[in-house]
Every structure is written in structure tokens, then in C-alpha cells.
Amino acid sequence: MQIHPDHRETGVLAKRMCRLLGYVGPAIALDSLLLQPPHSLMVQSYAPKELEVALLNADGFGLGWYDAAQVREPFTYRNVLPMWNDPNVEPLCRYITTGCALAYVRSATPGQGVDISNCQPFQSGNLLFTHNGYIKNFRETLYRPMRQLMSDRVYAAIQGNTDSEHIWGLVLTALSAPSPPSLVSALGIALGQLLALAQKYDTPVAANVLISDGQTLIGSRVASHGRAPSLYWLSNNLQLPNAVTVASEPLFAAPWERLKEHSLFTFNANRDLQYHPISGI
């Protein structure tokens, strides 16, 4: 199926928040991803097309990227300002060249603070993490059960109060096992735990996730009740050749495809899409 930027996916999920983007491919300037496309992430911060509840993504943003010359711990730039209000964004994006990046604009869930600790992407070692979605009434429902599943080290390292960082905490806990699973398996374990809790406590959750280690994109498009938020992918397009891009909304007119509902997926170094089972589901 070919999807174009004027398409709007409909569904019954109560909340659709934030917009995210991931890229792996030849080194390019960040502005060609985040600023130049007609429906760039910058545009999605003030004029999203598939955000069903909020009108804007004005509660902060973040960029994460890897050095184009070698894969090492990534760099991040985060701010609580709306993306369009930060005078540093344009010169930074013109200057930074990268072959792998994650980026995000935020529409905060009511009750969750607008501060730098809640801005994504989150980083641990060579990994970057972003999440678009929500856990309904997080503090009253899954906050404590999720924290009880975390290792002491991960529990102590959480700095913010978002559902997103707690999902990331489940992934990091899986990775801290004595015999650590692969990154995609760790995300599958975390999603399995999250969905089991959603069922146990009858709490709607949505988890569109992107994780990168600088060479691959690993992610999910998942919801426990109703439809998951929108998530598309595009590979080896003339505007972004030999690359794969994953985005909440298409950046420009092209044969973007929706990622499958209730899916765990990877894009490897060859830009091939592969789906994987979610642990316990």
C-alpha cells in the first residue's frame, strides 16, 4: 500500500501524542530530515496531521545523533521550548552530519511535567530511545507495577516522571540480565510486560517506540486498547537514497507504508524490514 502525506489514519485510541522520527543511512545534514521536507518534524511540531487529541507538539523536543565518522556514544540536544521557538535548531541542524538519528517533538500528557528530564530521546551508553504513546492515568495505574519490575540500578537512574522513561526502564532492565538478550528481544520482553500489566489493570497503553544503537533501528507499533498511533516507513527513496526513515507522519509525498499494528520490527544495516514476536503475546 502506498501512503501519501495527506492521508489520515482513523482509529479509536483515546490519546495520540508526540511525533517521532528515525533515520539510518548515508551521512546527511540533519536539516534535510528535520527542517527541509514540506511536512518535516519542525512542521509537525505546530501543524501535525494525525495527532487526534492535541493540536500542537509544543512541550519540548529532542535530537539524538551518532558521529558520522564512527559509531560511538551518541550526542543529544533537548529543550523544553517548542521546536520552532529554539534559535539553535536551525544552525545545529545545518552543521550536524550523521548517518543515524532519532528526533522527537512532545505533547505532554496532562499531569506530566514540562522539564528537561522528561524530554526525549533518552540515552544509555550507545543507545537512544524515543516513545510516542501513553499509559492512561499512569501515576494511578501502572507507575508502581512497572517500577517493581525494574532492577535497582535502573530504578535509581530514572530522572523524570513520564510513562515513556518507565518503558525505557523495562528495556534497560531486560538488558541488565546476567545473560543479556539482544536489543530487539529486550524490547519484546518490555512490551510483553507492559501489555500484560495493561490487561491485568485494564489500563489502555500505546507504545510506538524507536531505539537505535547507531547502526540499526528497532521499534514497535503497539496498543492494548484500540488502534496504535500512526507510524510509517520509507526505504531507498530518491530523496533519501540507500536509507530507511521511520516517522509518525510522512515527511513528503512518496510511497510511505504503515508499519503493522501490534508489531515489533527491526531495520538492519541493509535497510531490510523484519518483524519479530513480542514476548508472551
Neighbouring CB atoms inside 10 A of 79's CB total 16
Cβ neighbours of residue 54 under 8 Å, at least 6 residues apart?
16, 17, 107
pLDDT value for 137: 93
pLDDT value for 12: 35
* Single-letter code of the amino acid located at 51: L
Residue 54 above 90 pLDDT? Answer: no
Q: Which of 37-51, 135-149, 159-173, 179-193 has the lowest mean pLDDT?
A: 37-51
Distance CA 188, CA 206 (A): 14
pLDDT value for 221: 97
Distance CA 246, CA 22 (A): 5
Beta strands in 109-259 (DSSP E): 122-124, 127-135, 205-212, 217-223, 232-237, 240-247, 257-258
Q: Per the domain annotation, does 207 fall within a domain?
A: yes
Q: In the numeric block, which cell numbers belong to residue 160?
A: 523524570
How far is CA 114 from each of CA 59, 79, 103, 122, rounded to the nearest angstrom?
Answer: 6, 10, 17, 15
Residue 44 above 50 pLDDT? Answer: yes
Residue 187 above 50 pLDDT? Answer: yes
Q: Per the domain annotation, does 13 fall within a domain?
A: no
Give the pLDDT band (50/70/90) at residue 270: confident
Number of independent structural domains in the chain: 1
Catalytic status, residue 18: yes
Taking only the tens place, the pLDDT of each residue in 128-151 is 999 999 999 999 999 999 999 999
Q: Per the domain annotation, does 9 fall within a domain?
A: no
**Across the strands, what pairs with 207?**
133, 222
Q: Per the domain annotation, does 7 fall within a domain?
A: no
Q: Per the domain annotation, does 268 fall within a domain?
A: yes
**What is the arithmetic mean of pLDDT over 108-119?**
69
| CATH number, domain with residue 199 | 3.60.20.10
Distance CA 49, CA 82 (A): 17
**Residue 195 C-alpha from the chain's centroid:** 18
Q: Per the domain annotation, does 51 fall within a domain?
A: yes
Catalytic residue among 18, 93, 100, 119: 18
Neighbouring CB atoms inside 10 A of 60's CB total 25
The DSSP code sequence of 156-178 is: HH--S--HHHHHHHHHHHHHTSS
Distance CA 10, CA 7 (A): 10
pTM of the predicted model over 0.85? yes
Domain that holds residue 42: 19-276
Q: Return left, alpha or beta for 271; rule: phi > 0 is left, psi -120 to 50 is alpha, else beta.
A: left
**What is the arithmetic mean of pLDDT over 15-25?**
83
Residue 6 above 60 pLDDT? Answer: no
pLDDT value for 71: 65
Residues 53 and 15: beta-carbon distance below 8 Å: yes
Give the pLDDT band (50/70/90) at residue 280: low
Distance CA 247, CA 232 (A): 5
Cβ neighbours of residue 236 under 8 Å, at least 6 residues apart?
242, 243, 244, 271
Q: Per the domain annotation, does 4 fall within a domain?
A: no
Q: Per the domain annotation, does 8 fall within a domain?
A: no
